[in-house]
């Protein structure tokens, strides 16, 4: 998010991320859907609410929304683990722009 969002923001595109916990969908095997304890199931309504929040709040750019049960947690960006990661996240944008002719 931190490296993609600033590049796309120049094109007036906001990039954010929704990280769901276990949400019952048709992608999961029916045996798993039946076995999953209900107290650990995140309802689809939580995921939809996260997307709605991102769509309606234009100040949310490059954010991560972790969804668990009925809650949405907007996670703060963690520190870069080393100088290479910082360079990739902050300075490599000009290479991507040139590569994609942005």
DSSP three-state, residue 67 = strand
Structure confidence at residue 65 (pLDDT): 96
Quote the domain boundaries for residue 46.
Answer: 4-99
Q: Cβ distance 60 to 54 under 8 Å?
A: yes
pTM: 0.76
Taking only the tens of pLDDT, the chain with its 102 residues reads 777 888 888 889 999 999 999 999 999 999 999 999 999 999 999 999 999 999 999 999 989 999 999 999 998 888 889 999 888 878 887 787 777 775
Number of domains in the chain: 1
CA distance 27 to 102: 36
Structure confidence at residue 53 (pLDDT): 97
The pairs formed by 22-30 with CB atoms below 8 angstroms and a separation of 24 or more are 23/47, 23/67
């Amino acid at each position: 998010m931190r490296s993609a969002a600033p590049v796309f923001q120049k094109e007036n595109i906001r990039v954010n991320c929704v990280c769901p916990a276990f949400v019952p969908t048709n992608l999961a095997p029916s045996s798993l859907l039946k076995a999953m304890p209900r107290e650990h199931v995140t309802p689809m309504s939580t995921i939809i609410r996260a997307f709605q929040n991102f769509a309606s709040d234009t100040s949310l750019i490059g954010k991560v929304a972790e969804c668990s049960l009925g809650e949405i947690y907007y996670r703060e960006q963690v520190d870069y683990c080393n100088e290479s990661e910082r360079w990739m996240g902050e300075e490599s944008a000009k290479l991507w722009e040139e590569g994609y002719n942005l």
